[in-house]
Structure 1
Amino acid sequence: MAKTILVTCLANSGYRRAGLAFQKGENHLEAAQLSQAQLAAIEGDHRLSIAQADPEGPVVENRLGDGLDSAEGLNLALVEDELLRPFVAVIDQLARSGELTEGKKPKVDELAFETEDDQGKAIKVKPTAAQRDAAWEVYQQLIQQPQAGAAEQAQGEG
């Protein structure tokens, strides 16, 4: 099966970039039909989010960027959706560095990270708004777990 590229367009339907017209929302493109220049133009446009899609699998293979295979103090193995793990790790990094306003979810662009494709070429992976929202929800649950566990332990001792 041919590799496809999933491009999520945040602009109105009919938005054009790199000689292509995009519909608002998800657009599936054949990777072999796109030139490097077209890919670069799409990747550089903040109104477009690009991810490699495998017709037989999830939208982005779980190729974690540097430092995104773990998150200090968080057990990423508890994140059931493997595609969300790197985004949860980025949220954790932003929170620990003070770049994240407490209680306020990050913007999609803030969660972008670089990794490698099948050929070892560097690619930028940016979540869709839905992926960002899901990663934020998972992150909120993960940071509450240690507190919940400590509260239950304290009640058991009392």
Structure 2
Amino acid sequence: METRLPSVTVHNPRQQHYHRAGFKFESGKTKLSAEQLTEDALAILHADPHIRVTENSPSELPSQRASVDTSSVGDDLALDLRDAPEELAHIIAVMYASKPDAKPNCADLTCHVQGVGEVTPSAAERDAAWKWYQENIVKVG
């Protein structure tokens, strides 16, 4: 069964526009529908310390016919990336999205970075991101 991505509201506190994960965010709030997002883009947005991303509840979705697959909801994990090294944020975001139990292979962390293309971290980058992830992930609920 395919997991449905949530719609999100992205808050850009800057007084100028900001580009991330293929989107341009004007100052203030921007709503993105689930159809506009990919798992990689959602992970990158969540990892960015310069914006705030809020996942909208089903009642906030434009269509009342929307449904949530609660069988795919697992343990809730929270990650505050404000202090994450900026050069590792996209790697940490992919880790957060996949919620690995063990250090992932570098190839498993390949993601698309806007303006750069497909990026696979080096072993050193993966190790630094994994260390930061392990030290900062918090189980909630």
Which TM-score band (shorter chain)? 0.3 to 0.5
Bigger relative contact order, structure 1 or 2 (CA pairs below 8 A, ≥6 apart): 2
Give the TM-score normalised by structure 1.
0.41
Give the TM-score normalised by structure 2.
0.46
The structure in which a higher percent of residues are helix is 1
